[in-house]
Amino acid sequence: EPSDRNEGEVSGAKVIAQALKTQGVEYMFGIVGIPVTEIAFAAQELGIRYIGMRNEQAACYAASAIGYLTGRPGVCLVVSGPGLIHALGGMANANMNCWPLLVIGGSSERNQETMGAFQEFPQVEACRLYSKFSARPASIEAIPSVIEKAVRSSIYGRPGACYVDIPADFVNLLVNVNSIKYTECCMSPPVSMAETPAVCMAASVIRNAKQPLLIIGKGAAYAHAEKNIRKLVEQCKLPFLPTPMGKGVVPDNHPNCVGAARSRALQFADVIVLLGARLNWILHFGLPPRYRPDVKFIQVDICAEELGNNVRPAVTLLGDINAVTKQLLEEFDKIPWQYPPESKWWKTLREKMDSNEAASKELASQKSPPMNYYTVFYHVQEQLPRDGFIVSEGANTMDIGRTVLQNYLPRHRLDAGTFGTMGVGLGFAIAAAVLAKDRSPGQRVICVEGDSAFGFSGMEVETICRYNLPIIILVVNNNGIYQGFDTDTWNEMLKSQDATIAAPPACLLPNSHYEQVMIAFGGKGYFVQTPEELQKSLRQSLADTTKPSLINIMIEPQATRKAQDFHWLTRSKM
Ligand code: ADP
Ligand code: MG
């Protein structure tokens, strides 16, 4: 119900929408219901894009991806109690990834607090663990400044999630228009630079390196540091290794990319420059045996508390990656230097890259069905549009896919990330596709999902079809989590026992036709079992720009990764 019929009065819902608009918010993902429906209407009326999703968790993943891709927070709008609780997964994921996000949650009425109100829950407290800032405005008049603070907190310093709680009684309450002052749009984050002596020292450590390595993380992608980092790589002729979402900051096919020799590069580098990547589990904590015990780390990060985590760095450069990279470049302009391209280190790295690539190609050459992961990904890579977004999740699907599928542009890969979250894929794909539709029509989103990963938010296919988003979902289907069984084995196993007693925990129903989910909502669905069928369905999906599609790719249920130097990299839990 429009509740601001009285002239000179404005509803809380409209104040919230206007405050968001004033802070430059462009995208809102959510699910409407009591008490937030009016907020969604008001936001849409002001030109904020509202995308209605099917589960708050996926909505929150989508909003967080907007933050990473644009540098300004997307909003996730949720109802009270369970709605907010569903969104906590997305908040935690955003916070772990250091991505800006603003969650707006409806909550129960103030005058029913502690009485067992509808969907009552301590929401501000609940969000505190998953955010940088969590607050409830004390009045409608306070909404604009609280929203400004939330938006600002989400992008200043280390980016992260923020929460603003909106009591149900605010939404339709009318206040005098003149009592509301909209706080000006917060300024872009201030750019901080490293101390000059530290920059000099870093340059000198790099110059003296025998086996240098740059590690490019998603912090570098977020910082839009691609031009300067590429310059550093090319000017100093340094080998670089992207982390999963650091892929594309410098293109994967750049001659200095040593992604294909990852373990080797980490193990023997004597100087490592960390550009926006934490020494957490993804980088094996920076510790032996994955690294030399005497490796010198040069850590570049915007977050002071991050510096020195797990290792004692040789040099710390506290500041914005783009600015600090520029400072390093200036040092190398003063006294030009380049790492010798004919060094033994380069030879070691090249040999390892060649042998790793040969081993993958060998596996990919297997043409007779059932296909393995490598066969699938080599065919996908062949047709992958260079400007496309790659979204990926699943265990083997993501790990192997990452080594074969190439990124050519920064901020064009979204995956399970720091938190290792399964279920992010469709939300991320939806956010990327909404942006693509707005900003670069014709651009596609290729969403590469394991069959288990797809299941977490499978109903978002309806969202994809409702908004007709340019998404191609590939379900790499091995009938299970990590691994599954073929139909015959499955039937044999359950011949004499009920599935609830005997079905192996990692199994999913064999031969599931996930493509029918897409067909159900009017998209295109393909069920493929051979390399030829895969090639053809990819061609057709890419050619058809009028509809989303889903290709259900059946692979060998017991397929795994190729042998690894470090056995614990083979994450099979079966
Ligand atoms: P990856 O998963 O790619 O290894 P992480 O998420 O672990 O990357 O690390 C990203 C790091 O980048 C975080 O420590 C974060 O504080 C930092 N960061 C984010 N934005 C910037 C920026 N503009 N300048 C410097 N560091 C940044
Ligand atoms: Mg699977």
Average pLDDT, the chain: 96
Task: Categorize the per-residue pLDDT at 560 as very low, low, confident or very high, splitting at 50, 70 and 90.
Answer: confident
Q: How far apart are CA 455 and CA 2, in angstroms?
A: 38
What pLDDT shows up at residue 7?
Answer: 77
Contact 549, 523 (CB under 8 A): yes
Cβ(15)–Cβ(144) under 8 Å? yes
Which pLDDT tens digit goes with each residue over 426-450? Answer: 999 999 999 999 999 999 999 999 9
pLDDT tens track for 160-213: 999 999 999 999 999 999 999 999 999 999 999 999 999 999 999 999 999 999
C-alpha separations of 335 from 78, 125, 232, 471 in Å: 55, 53, 14, 48
Structure tokens at 145: 């400044």
E strands, 1-132, in order:
9-11, 27-30, 49-52, 75-78, 101-107
Say how many Å lie between the CA of residue 248 and the centre of ligand 1.
Answer: 15
Task: Burial-class residue 478 by CB neighbours within 10 Å (0-12, 13-18, 19+).
Answer: buried
pTM: 0.97
- Amino acid identity for residue 95 in this structure: N
Q: What is the DSSP letter of 405?
A: S
413, two tokens: 């890969």
CA 301 to ligand 1 centroid distance, Å: 6
- Residue 569: per-residue pLDDT: 47
> What are the residues whose beta carbons fall under 8 Å from the beta carbon of 55, sequence distance 6 or more?
31, 86, 457, 459, 460
The tokens describing 248, both together, are 């594309």
Return the closest-CA partner of residue 24 out of 180, 189, 223, 185. 185
Q: Please report where in the chains the tokens 């506290």 appear, as a residue.
A: 318
CA of 400 to the centre of ligand 2 (A): 13
- Residue ranges with CB less than 5 Å from ion ligand 2: 450-452, 478
Percent of the chain with pLDDT over 70: 97
- The answer to whether 445 and 473 are in contact (CB under 8 A) is no
Band (pLDDT 50/70/90 cuts) for residue 571 is very low
Determine the distance separating the centroid of ligand 2 and the alpha carbon of 475, expressed in angstroms.
9
Six-digit token string for 429: 């794909």
Name the phi and psi angles at 39, rounded to 5.
Answer: -65, -40
Q: Which residues have any ligand 1 atom within 6 Å of their CB?
A: 97-98, 158, 217-219, 222-223, 243, 245-246, 276-278, 280, 282, 301-303, 306, 320-321, 418
Q: What is the DSSP letter of 549?
A: E
**At 106, is the secondary structure helix, strand, or coil?**
strand
Cα 173 to ligand 1 centroid, rounded to whole Å: 41
Count of H-run helices and E-run strands, the chain: 22, 19
**Distance between CA 130 and CA 19 in Å, rounded?**
23
Rounded-to-integer distance, Cα 186 and Cα 140, Å: 19
The closest residue, in CA terms, to atom 23 on ligand 1 is 223
Tell me, what's the ipTM? 0.98
* pLDDT confidence of residue 1: 45
**What's residue 4's pLDDT?**
47
Atom of ligand 1 nearest to the CA of 246: 3
User: Residue 321 and residue 274: Cα distance in Å, rounded?
Assistant: 10
Residue 386 makes CB contacts below 8 A (sequence gap 6+) with 408, 409
Pocket test for ligand 1, best of 69, 98, 262, 421 (most atoms within 8 A of CB): 98
Fill in the DSSP letter of residue 88.
Answer: H
